[in-house]
Structure 1
Amino acid sequence: MAWLLLIVGGLFEVGFTTCLRFVDGFRNIPWTLGFLASVTLSMGLLEVASRSIPLGTAYAVWTGIGALGTVAVGILWFGEPTTTLRMLLILGVVVCIAGLKLTA
């Protein structure tokens, strides 16, 4: 169950990084509320998951999910580049996250 909570928390990290793009100095209220809700849920789920998963592993996986998801959002919705090197580096992050999961 802790791993599921950690994954959901990582997905909420993608939510708060995406909202952060639109908060406009925290003047855009709907996006700011989305940011605050997402960051609260994300951090809360990380905290709960880290009760059962070693903290360093939980944090690395949570950050990795957030980073990968944010890169995917950037590519799919904001037209960010998809160079071969960038994709290989993203694959490296995925392999590292899987390795942490297997060793935890």
Structure 2
Amino acid sequence: MYWFILIIAGVLEAGWLIGIEKSAAFSKIPYVIFAVLCMTSSLVLFGISLKQIPASHAYLVWLAVGVLSISVIKYYFFGQSISATQLLCFGLIVAGVVGLKLTA
């Protein structure tokens, strides 16, 4: 359950980063509100996950899920391309996260 919470926290991390990017230097208030809500939710869920997951593992997974989420969101919604090399690197990130899960 705590790993699922951590993954949701990572996806929300991507949400706040995209919200900040789309806020145009904090001039578009709806995006700022979205970013703050995602950031707060992400940190709360990350904190909850620390009850059962070592901080070093949780932090790496949180960042990895955030990076992957940002890339997927930008690919599907904003037309950002993803190269074969990037896909390979994403696969390595996923392999590392799975490895951490299996050893934690």
TM-score range, shorter chain: over 0.9
Q: CA RMSD in A?
A: 1.0
Report how far residue 56 of structure 1 moved: 0.4
Give, in whole Å, the separation in 1 of the partners of 2:68 and 2:86: 11
Divergent runs of 4+, >3 A: none
Does 1:103 find its partner at 2:103?
Answer: yes
Where in structure 2 are the equivalents of 1:11-90 lying within 5 Å?
Answer: 11-90=11-90
Identity %: 30
Cα displacement string for residues 14-54 of structure 1 (whole angstroms, at most 9, x for unaligned residues): 21122122111111110000000000000111111012100
Unaligned runs of 5+ in 2: none
Cα displacement string for residues 59-99 of structure 1 (whole angstroms, at most 9, x for unaligned residues): 11111100000011121122222211111011111111111
Unaligned runs of 5+ in 1: none
Higher mean Cα deviation, 55-64 or 78-87? Answer: 78-87
Number of positions where the alignment pairs a residue of Structure 1 with one of Structure 2: 104
Matched with 1:91 is 91
